[in-house]
C-alpha cells in the first residue's frame, strides 16, 4: 500500500494546474475523440456549457451524456455474471447477497476514477499506463487483459448457445449468428447507432422484474442475506465462488472499457458530474439484476434436487421451466441471452480499444471500416477465435465460466493499483487527482482484494484449513493494512513538510510555517470550491510525450514487484482449482 502516496508540493500543484490547454485533448491519439458529444439520446456541441440552461435543458444534456457508465455496469451482468449469481443462489440461497452490497463502493470508486482519467486525459487506460510506467509494466497490464478478455468472450458465446439452445436453436447456428450480429453493430461507423443498439439490449433487462416476482421470493430470507455469513464454512469452494462474484461484478476489463468509451464519446471535464450520475444509474441496474438472478435460482428451485447442484446457466433455465413453468424458464433464458450479447460487445470493445492504444492506431466507433481497419479486424478476429473455442466440451466450458470470473477477481488488485497510481499523477490529472479520502478508500479496496485472494491461495493449498484460522488470517491482514495506512499517512506528511521547506528556501529562506499559512489564506469554503471547480472544468492533460515520467521509489517498486509475483502465483492456483474440478 505504500505506493499509493502522491507526495505533496503545493506550489508545484498550483503551477501545474494552469499550463494545460482548455478544451481539445492534447494527449489524444485519435482525432475522432475530439468534437461534439453524439449520444443515443441527444447531442451536445463541443463548446456547450451549463451556464444559463434551464432544468429541462440540463436534463436533456444528462440524457445525451448517459451511456458509458450504464453500458459498463449492465455489461458487468454478462453470461459469466448470470452463471455466477445463479450458482450462488442455487447452492447457497440468498446467503451471499452481502457480497453484492459490499461491492457497491468498489464499483463506484474504481469506475469514477477511470471517468476522471478518460475525461481529463482524453486517452484510454492502456495508453496512460504505457506512457507513465513504460513498456515493461504496460505489457504486463495489457497481457493480463487480453488473456482474460478473450476467455471472457468465450463465456459470452457459451451463454448465447445455452440461451438459444433453450428455445431449440443448435449451437452451430446460434454462435455464428451472434458473432455476425455483434460485428455488424460495431462496424457501422456510427457511435450513436452502436449506443442505441446497446440501449435497446439494456431495455430488455426489464424481464428481471417479472422473473423475480414469479418465483415468489421471500423478503425475510433475502434480508437475512445482507448479514455477512459463510454457509457451510469458509472453504476453498466457497472462497472461489466469492472471488468469482468479485471478479464478475468488478472486472478489470471495465476499467479499460469505460475510460476508452468516455474518450470515444468525447466527454470532457465539464461533464464529469453528469457521467457520475450515469455511473450510479448503471450501478443500481446491475445490483437489481444480480439480486434478481440470485433470487430466481434460490426461490425458483427451492425444494428440488437441483438445490446445491449447480452445473451451468442453461441447466438453471431448464430446471426453472420444470419447476416453475415455461414462462419462468424462458425469461431466464432471455436474460441470459441479453446479458451475453451486451457482455461480448463491451468486452470485445474493451480489448480492441486497448489494442488501438497499445499500437497507436485509430480506435473509435466514429470511424468506418476503411478508415480504421486495424480496429475492426482486431474485433472480428477476437469474436472469431472466441466463437471457435466455445465449441469445446460442455463440462469444460461450464467450469471455464467460473474460472474466468475468479481470474478476473485475483487480477483486479493489480489493475486497481495502476488505477490509483494514475489518479495520483498530478502531471496527468492536475486538479483532478485523488483526495486523501479517495486514496484511503482505494487503499482499503485493494488490500481487501489482496486478502481475499490470499485466503483463496491458502484454502487451495490446505483444503482442510479451519474457518477460524482463515478468520484469524483476515483479522491479522486487516491490522497489517491499518498499520500500513498509518505509515503511509506519516510518510506523506513528511514529504509535504519537506516540499514546504524547499519552497520556503526558494522564496528567500522564509519560515516554512509562513509558507503553509499562505496556502491557508482566508477564503470561504464556497470561494475555494468555486475556484477549484473553475480550474477543473478547463483543465486537460498536456501531450503525454511532453511530460516527465514519474520515478518509482524503492518502496513502490518493491511493492509492485511483490504484487505482480503474488498475482502470478494466485492465477496459477485458480487454474489448479479449476483443473481439479474438471478432473472430479
Q: Would you give per-residue pLDDT tens digits along the chain (584 residues)?
A: 444 444 333 333 333 333 344 444 566 667 888 889 999 999 999 889 888 899 999 999 999 999 999 999 998 888 888 988 999 999 999 999 999 998 898 889 989 999 999 999 999 999 999 999 888 888 878 887 888 888 889 989 989 999 999 999 999 999 999 999 999 999 888 999 999 999 999 999 899 999 999 999 999 999 999 998 888 877 777 887 887 788 777 778 899 999 999 999 999 999 999 999 999 999 999 999 999 999 999 999 998 888 988 888 889 999 999 999 999 999 999 999 999 999 999 999 999 999 998 888 889 999 999 999 999 999 999 999 999 988 877 666 666 766 676 677 667 777 888 888 899 888 899 889 988 888 888 888 878 877 876 776 666 666 677 777 777 877 888 888 777 777 767 776 676 667 666 665 655 665 555 545 444 444 455 545 555 566 677 788 888 888 888 877 776 777 777 777 777 777 777 777 666 666 65
Cβ atoms of 100 and 222 closer than 8 Å? no
Give, in order, the Cα–Cα distances in Å from 122 to each of 302, 357, 524.
Answer: 50, 12, 33
Exposed/middle/buried for residue 104 (C-beta within 10 Å: 0-12, 13-18, 19+): middle
What pLDDT was estimated at residue 525?
Answer: 55
What pLDDT was estimated at residue 430?
Answer: 87
- Give the C-alpha separation, 479 to 476, whole Å: 5
Provide the grid cell at 408.
478476473
What pLDDT was estimated at residue 21?
Answer: 42
C-alpha 88: how far from chain center: 21
What pLDDT was estimated at residue 28?
Answer: 61
What pLDDT was estimated at residue 557?
Answer: 75
What pLDDT was estimated at residue 57?
Answer: 93
| Cα distance from N-terminal residue to C-terminal residue, the chain | 38
| Pair type for strands 37-39 and 42-44 | antiparallel
Q: Report CA torsion sign: 436, 442, 446, 451.
A: positive
* Closest residue by Cα to residue 73 from 229, 234, 242, 261: 261
* Closest residue by Cα to residue 108 from 405, 445, 348: 445
Amino acid at each position: 500500500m505504500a505506493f499509493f502516496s502522491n507526495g505533496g508540493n503545493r506550489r508545484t500543484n498550483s503551477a501545474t494546474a494552469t499550463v494545460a490547454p482548455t478544451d481539445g485533448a492534447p494527449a489524444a491519439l485519435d482525432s475522432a475523440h475530439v468534437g461534439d458529444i453524439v449520444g443515443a439520446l441527444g447531442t451536445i456541441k463541443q463548446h456547450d456549457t451549463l451556464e444559463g440552461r434551464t432544468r429541462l435543458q440540463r436534463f436533456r444534456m444528462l440524457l445525451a451524456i448517459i451511456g458509458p457508465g450504464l453500458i459498463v455496469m449492465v455489461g458487468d451482468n454478462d453470461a459469466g455474471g448470470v452463471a455466477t449469481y445463479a450458482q450462488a443462489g442455487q447452492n447457497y440461497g440468498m446467503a451471499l447477497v452481502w457480497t453484492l452490497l459490499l461491492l457497491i463502493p468498489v464499483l463506484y470508486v474504481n469506475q469514477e476514477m477511470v471517468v476522471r482519467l478518460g475525461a481529463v486525459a482524453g486517452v484510454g487506460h492502456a495508453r496512460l499506463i504505457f506512457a507513465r510506467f513504460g513498456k515493461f509494466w504496460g505489457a504486463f497490464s495489457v497481457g493480463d487483459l487480453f488473456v482474460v478478455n478473450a476467455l471472457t468472450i468465450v463465456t459470452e458465446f457459451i451463454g448465447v448457445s445455452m440461451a438459444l439452445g433453450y428455445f431449440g436453436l443448435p449451437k452451430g447456428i446460434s454462435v455464428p449468428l451472434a458473432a455476425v450480429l455483434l460485428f455488424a453493430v460495431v462496424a457501422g461507423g456510427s457511435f450513436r447507432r452502436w449506443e442505441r443498439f446497446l440501449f435497446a439490449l439494456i431495455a430488455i433487462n426489464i424481464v428481471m422484474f417479472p422473473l423475480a416476482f414469479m418465483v415468489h421470493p421471500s423478503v425475510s430470507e433475502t434480508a437475512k442475506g445482507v448479514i455477512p455469513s459463510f454457509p457451510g464454512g469458509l472453504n476453498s469452494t466457497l472462497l472461489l465462488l466469492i472471488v468469482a462474484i468479485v471478479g464478475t461484478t468488478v472486472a478489470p476489463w471495465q476499467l479499460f472499457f469505460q475510460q476508452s468509451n468516455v474518450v470515444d464519446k468525447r466527454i470532457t471535464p465539464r461533464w464529469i458530474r453528469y457521467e457520475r450520475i450515469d455511473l450510479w444509474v448503471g450501478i443500481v441496474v446491475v445490483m437489481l439484476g444480480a439480486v434478481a438472478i440470485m433470487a430466481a435460482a434460490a426461490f425458483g428451485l427451492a425444494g428440488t434436487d437441483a438445490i446445491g447442484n449447480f452445473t451451468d446457466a442453461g441447466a438453471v433455465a431448464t430446471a426453472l421451466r420444470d419447476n416453475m413453468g415455461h414462462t419462468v424458464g424462458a425469461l431466464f433464458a432471455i436474460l441470459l441471452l441479453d446479458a451475453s450479447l451486451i457482455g461480448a460487445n463491451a468486452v470485445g470493445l474493451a480489448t480492441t480499444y486497448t489494442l488501438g492504444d497499445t499500437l497507436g492506431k485509430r480506435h473509435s466507433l466514429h470511424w468506418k471500416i476503411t478508415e480504421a481497419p486495424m480496429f475492426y479486424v482486431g474485433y472480428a478476429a477476437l469474436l472469431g477465435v472466441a466463437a471457435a473455442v466455445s465449441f469445446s466440451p460442455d463440462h469444460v466450458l461450464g467450469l471455464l465460466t467460473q474460472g474466468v470470473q475468479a481470474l478476473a477477481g485475483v487480477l483486479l488488485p493489480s489493475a486497481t493499483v495502476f488505477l490509483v497510481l494514475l489518479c495520483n499523477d498530478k502531471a496527468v490529472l492536475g486538479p483532478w487527482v485523488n483526495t486523501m479520502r479517495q486514496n484511503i478508500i482505494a487503499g482499503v479496496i485493494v488490500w481487501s482484494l489482496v486478502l481475499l485472494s490470499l485466503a483463496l491461495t491458502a484454502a487451495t493449498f490446505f483444503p482442510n484449513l479451519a474457518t477460524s484460522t482463515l478468520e484469524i488470517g483476515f483479522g491479522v491482514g486487516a491490522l497489517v493494512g491499518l498499520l500500513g495506512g498509518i505509515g503511509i499517512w506519516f510518510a506523506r506528511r513528511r514529504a509535504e513538510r519537506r516540499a514546504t521547506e524547499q519552497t520556503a528556501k526558494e522564496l528567500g529562506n522564509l519560515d516554512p510555517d509562513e509558507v503553509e499559512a499562505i496556502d491557508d489564506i482566508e477564503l470561504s469554503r464556497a470561494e475555494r470550491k468555486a475556484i477549484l471547480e473553475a480550474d477543473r472544468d478547463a483543465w486537460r492533460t498536456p501531450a503525454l510525450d511532453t511530460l516527465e515520467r514519474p520515478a518509482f521509489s524503492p518502496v513502490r517498486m518493491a511493492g509492485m514487484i511483490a504484487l505482480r509475483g503474488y498475482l502470478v502465483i494466485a492465477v496459477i492456483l485458480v487454474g489448479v482449482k479449476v483443473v481439479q474440478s474438471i478432473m472430479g
